[in-house]
């Protein structure tokens, strides 16, 4: 009995759960997240589908929000027994040959979060970085309340964002690659207006291959598995908030609607590639860069190879090796457009730009591309201003071929500086490979417009210097559906701060 008591106390101290308020001010509602439904249906159609599976005896009290473009929604029950029966019925249901995704969502009580404490919402893409995602999610669920750590393979970011919708001030930690970060930001765009905190700052644990945004924000080239997860949480606490410009890329095809729409490759980490408008234009949000020509062609080949054999692409070293092999094949085959500059017209801020002979064009929002290379190059005296990722400007560079591309990635050369501006228009005369933040496809002739997005992103940039603290334990309080609350202690003010923290 003594040993059982010790084990029980040890487990309690590790998880640090406490009882929640007896009366939940939000009422007795239990929420179920339901996914894998067809996207774009009406609320009435979604209600009809669910009622067919549940019957009237287990019908929900309310429905919403509905995430139409994702084919997912939240239903709530005032009766716990009815909610459990609905959960079991939906979990065993299929629609259009897909098993429905059903999650019982926890409830966070905002009043139980102490003043001055920013709760942390953690998203982990377990498919990124081999098995590192699975290791991280296990570690974070031990260090934090399990109800604030979400597996993106189980419903994506929407369940976690719904759970945190009443929290006025919180941070997000995204564990994954650049595509995962874009996915989370895209979902934030969709739910922000219905949340108390519309733009929570996001930190990164880089698990992907390129990790260009993570590099710019100093989170590193990639998680190696050697870092202490508790130290990662401390880094999130110490990180500084910065703005990230975001851009809207609009494709206006010339051809018939059925032939002209962009055909982005399917990528589970990014969700829907873009949104379709009534005039058949397709709209994407760009965070990192937009490539046309040789860069996008290589990206497309890599993506197709990964789609055919996903199990082989589980390490950064292997992925980079595949890129090198594909580049060599391009050099030998020479199937790419040699004179890309003759196949498009470029306008920057309303002025036509004369293009040099190039096989590829890259439009940069951040100064990291292709797994850490800087195509813009080091500072030098020219007509261009010093770029950053919050100045409302994009940098346009050119690549002369595969060899030049390899030299840029190796740091031996820079790309050709072409232009700098805040509004870019491109007319494509022929079918050309393109990629937006690593999502590649072959784009048909037409106009492409890149303009500043109204969507905002607040990111967290890791501090350069080290900080000494009296108490470095991170803090948070949160509720689970079973009525348990957990506290993770708040940091004290730093005793000493390295002053080398002005680079942001």
Measure the CA–CA gap between 460 and 492, rounded to whole angstroms.
20
SS3 percent helix, strand, coil of the chain, rounded to 5, is 30, 30, 40
pTM of the model: 0.82
What are the backbone angles phi and psi of residue 430, rounded to the nearest 5°?
-150, 175
The per-residue DSSP string of 54-108 comes to H-GGG--SEEEEEEGGGTEEEEEES-HHHHHHHHHHHHT-EETTEEPEEEEEP--
Residues 6+ apart with CB under 8 A from 283: 248, 249, 250, 251, 274, 275, 276, 277
For residue 224, the model assigns a pLDDT of: 86
The per-residue DSSP string of 128-169 comes to TTTTHHHHHHHHHHHHS-GGGEEETTTTTTHHHHHHTTT-SS
Q: Average of pLDDT values for 270-288?
A: 75
Mean pLDDT of the chain: 82
Measure the CA–CA gap between 24 and 150, rounded to whole angstroms.
23
Measure the CA–CA gap between 377 and 363, rounded to whole angstroms.
14
* Tokens, residue 54: 């549940």
Residues 6+ apart with CB under 8 A from 344: 292, 355, 361, 426, 427, 428, 429, 432
341 SS3 class: helix
pLDDT in tens, 120-140: 999 999 987 667 888 999 999
Residues 6+ apart with CB under 8 A from 204: 173, 174, 175, 181, 211, 213, 214, 217, 219, 459, 460
Using alpha carbons, select from 364, 157, 349 the residue that is nearest to residue 268: 157
pLDDT in tens, 324-381: 555 556 555 555 567 898 999 999 999 999 999 999 999 999 999 988 999 999 988 8
Measure the CA–CA gap between 244 and 288, rounded to whole angstroms.
10
Pairing of strands 282-286, 247-253: antiparallel
What confidence tier does 489 reach under pLDDT thresholds 50, 70, 90? very low
- Produce one character per residue of 464-503: b if its CB has 16 or more CB atoms within 10 Å, e if not: eeebebeebebbbbbbbeeebbbbbebbeeeeeeeeeeee
Query: Do the Cβ atoms of 77 and 86 come closer than 8 Å?
Result: yes
Measure the CA–CA gap between 449 and 347, rounded to whole angstroms.
9
For residue 336, the model assigns a pLDDT of: 56
Residues 6+ apart with CB under 8 A from 83: 30, 32, 77, 104
Burial class (CB in 10 A: 0-12, 13-18, 19+), 181: buried
For residue 2, the model assigns a pLDDT of: 53
Query: Do the Cβ atoms of 90 and 31 come closer than 8 Å?
Result: no
Burial class (CB in 10 A: 0-12, 13-18, 19+), 269: buried
Q: Which DSSP category does 425 fall into? A: E
Residue 188 or residue 484, greater confidence: 188
pLDDT in tens, 54-89: 999 999 999 999 999 999 999 999 999 999 999 999
Using alpha carbons, select from 485, 479, 499, 476 the residue that is nearest to residue 233: 476
Structural domains of the chain ordered from first start: 30-105 (3.30.70.330), 112-245+459-497 (3.40.50.10330), 247-453 (2.60.200.40)
Q: Is the peptide bond before 498 cis (omega within 30 degrees of 0)?
A: no
Measure the CA–CA gap between 462 and 332, rounded to whole angstroms.
42
pLDDT in tens, 286-321: 999 999 999 999 888 765 666 666 665 555 555 555
């Amino acid at each position: 009995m003594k040993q059982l008591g010790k084990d029980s106390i040890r487990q309690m101290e590790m998880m640090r759960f406490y009882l929640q308020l007896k009366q939940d001010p939000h009422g007795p509602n239990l929420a179920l997240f339901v996914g894998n439904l067809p996207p774009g249906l009406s609320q009435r159609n979604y209600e009809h589908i669910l009622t067919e599976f549940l019957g009237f005896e287990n019908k929900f009290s309310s429905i919403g929000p509905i995430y139409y473009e994702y084919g997912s929604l939240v239903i709530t029950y005032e009766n716990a027994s009815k909610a459990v029966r609905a959960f079991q019925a939906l979990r065993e249901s299929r629609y259009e040959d897909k098993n429905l995704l059903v999650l019982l969502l926890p409830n966070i009580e905002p009043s139980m979060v102490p003043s001055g404490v920013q709760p942390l919402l953690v998203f982990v893409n377990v498919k990124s970085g081999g098995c590192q995602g699975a290791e991280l999610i296990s570690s974070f669920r031990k260090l934090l309340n399990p109800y604030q750590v979400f597996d993106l393979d189980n419903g994506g970011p929407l369940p976690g964002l719904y759970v945190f919708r009443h929290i006025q001030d919180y941070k997000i930690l995204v564990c994954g690659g650049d595509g995962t970060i874009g996915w989370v930001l895209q979902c934030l765009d969709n739910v922000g207006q219905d949340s108390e905190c519309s733009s929570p700052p996001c930190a990164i644990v880089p698990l992907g291959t390129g990790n260009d945004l993570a590099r710019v924000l100093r989170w590193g080239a990639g998680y190696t598995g050697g870092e202490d997860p508790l130290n990662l949480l401390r880094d999130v606490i110490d990180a500084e908030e910065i703005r990230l410009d975001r851009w809207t890329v609009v494709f206006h095809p010339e051809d018939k609607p059925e032939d002209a729409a962009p055909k982005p490759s399917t990528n589970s980490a990014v969700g829907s590639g873009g949104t379709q408008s009534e005039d058949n234009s397709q709209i994407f949000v760009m965070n990192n860069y937009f490539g046309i020509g040789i860069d996008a062609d290589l990206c497309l080949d890599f993506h197709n190879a990964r789609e055919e054999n996903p199990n082989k692409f589980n390490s950064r070293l292997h992925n980079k090796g595949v890129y090198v092999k594909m580049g060599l094949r391009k050099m030998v085959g020479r199937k790419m457009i040699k004179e890309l500059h003759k196949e498009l017209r470029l306008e920057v801020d309303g002025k036509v730009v004369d293009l040099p002979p190039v096989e590829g064009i890259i439009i940069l929002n951040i100064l990291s591309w292709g797994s850490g290379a800087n195509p813009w190059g080091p500072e030098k005296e020219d007509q261009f201003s010093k770029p950053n990722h919050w100045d409302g400007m994009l940098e346009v560079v050119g690549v002369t071929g595969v060899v030049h591309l390899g030299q840029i990635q190796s740091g031996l050369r820079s790309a050709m500086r072409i232009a700098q501006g805040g509004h870019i228009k491109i007319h494509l005369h022929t079918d050309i490979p393109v990629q937006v933040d690593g999502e590649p496809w072959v784009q048909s002739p037409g106009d492409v417009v890149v303009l500043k997005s109204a969507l905002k992103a607040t990111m967290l940039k890791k501090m350069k210097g080290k900080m000494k603290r009296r108490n470095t334990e991170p803090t948070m309080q949160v509720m689970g559906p079973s009525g348990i609350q957990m506290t993770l202690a708040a940091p004290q003010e730093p005793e000493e701060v390295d002053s080398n923290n002005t680079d942001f």
